[in-house]
Amino acid sequence: MDYTTGIVVDNRYLYHDPGFGHPESPDRLLAVYAMLDEDDMRGRFLRIEPRMAETGEIAMVHSRSYIEHVASTAGVPCTVLDFDTVTSADSWDTALLAAGGLMNAVDRVMEGIVKNAFAFVRPPGHHAETGGSGGFCIFNNVAIAAEHARKKHGIKRILIVDWDLHHGNGTQHFFYEDSGVLYFSTHQSPFYPGTGSIGEMGRGEGEGYTINVPLPRGQGDADYLWIFRKLLEPTAIAYRPELVLISAGFDICRGDSLGAMNVSEHGLAGMTRVLMNIADKCCEGRLAATLEGGYNLSMLARSAKAVLKEMRGDTRISNEELDKISEKAEETTRQVANNVIQRARRYWPL
């Protein structure tokens, strides 16, 4: 049987335990895995087996001293890496499995075995910097997977879209002077981690290849879709990525315990569709998503389901519908996005 969409799922992702009451708990994946077992989901996706990343692969992004520091936490019941990020005895192995899971997803997409894939892994990654952890993240899974895709598959241009509630400081910084990755982030601002202002657009060779859209709280489907259609889509198509990666955070969902955004599962399916349209136009649909945030368990599961149905083609939101939804975008959203568009015009045909 041919599958359109692959999923990375493994019970070992539950073993990283940042401690009682921590929002980034194993329950998040338990909720997603239960959803994947529902009647309309079970058996419809290719199960992609994860693997442990090798230390040399982690070192494509992270410093040797930081990797050794994380390795030293193996078997230790509790180590505080930073204020937000705590390891348990199995966190080192789980973090290697998270990076390796997304790399395997990227490989299956690049090989054409599936058109697209979603890695339901933890710990998340986009806050992890070269030399340290941050915001529940140990290794930067999406940055490692992008480096892996370039090295193994020889591709020259990767689009990373980070729709998580928070700015992906680690990912931005790693590719800041690099035109081989276009990093696009929407995020709540002002908010953790404090980076991601409109003026941060890359440096040197990477100038113009970082685009940030910092947003006030309360943004919903119309706002995100307006930004995706008017700003992201034309920029991305001009860039012609050979692979699209998504740092998929579901903490922008309505009712999230950390965020104050108002996106529905239908909105997330629409955002996915815009990215699929970009991938269809530029790179035969090649797209891989990885789980970042998302702390309201029922919204996380429902939204991930809507995203997967769109990825698989069970639902297919038309451009007409996307534009109809986005017509209701708030004036403040349009102002922020238009500020970004003014600056991005120096580099992109907007």
Nearest to 103 by CA among 139, 135, 147, 66: 147
Rounded Cα distance between 255 and 253, Å, is 6
Q: Which two tokens stand for residue 75?
A: 């078997």
Residue 126 CB, nearest approach to Zn ion (Å): 8
Residue 198-227 contact track with Zn ion, rule CB under 5 A, x = bound: ------------------------------
Strand partners, 263: 253
126 binds Zn ion, rule: CB under 5 A: no
| Torsion of Cα atoms, 323 then 329 then 333 then 337, to 10° | 10
Residue 273 CB, nearest approach to Zn ion (Å): 22
| Torsion of Cα atoms, 274 then 280 then 283 then 286, to 10° | 70
Q: Which two tokens stand for residue 348?
A: 């992109």
Which of 158, 165 has the CB closer to Zn ion? 165
Which of 28, 302 has the CB closer to Zn ion? 28
Which of 60, 261 has the CB closer to Zn ion? 261
251 binds Zn ion, rule: CB under 5 A: yes
Q: Which two tokens stand for residue 191?
A: 């908010």
The correct pick among 107, 164, 221, 223 for binding Zn ion (CB under 5 A) is: 164
Which of 257, 338 has the CB closer to Zn ion? 257
Q: Which two tokens stand for residue 45?
A: 């996706």
Residue nearest to Zn ion (CB): 293
Helix (H) or strand (E) segment spanning residue 116: strand 116-119
127 binds Zn ion, rule: CB under 5 A: no
Buried b (16+ CB within 10 A) or exposed e, 201-229: bbeeebebbbbbbbbbeebbbbbbbbbbb
340 binds Zn ion, rule: CB under 5 A: no
Residue 258-297 contact track with Zn ion, rule CB under 5 A, x = bound: -----------------------------------x----
Which of 125, 206 has the CB closer to Zn ion? 125
* 266 is an active site residue: no
165 binds Zn ion, rule: CB under 5 A: yes
Q: Which two tokens stand for residue 229?
A: 């259609």
Q: Which two tokens stand for residue 50?
A: 């994860």
- Choose the catalytic residue: 16, 127, 148, 166: 127
Rounded Cα distance between 271 and 307, Å, is 9
Stretch that binds Zn ion, among 5-13, 168-176, 244-252, 339-347 (CB under 5 A): 244-252
Footprint of Zn ion (CB under 5 A)? 164-166, 249, 251, 293
Active site members: 127
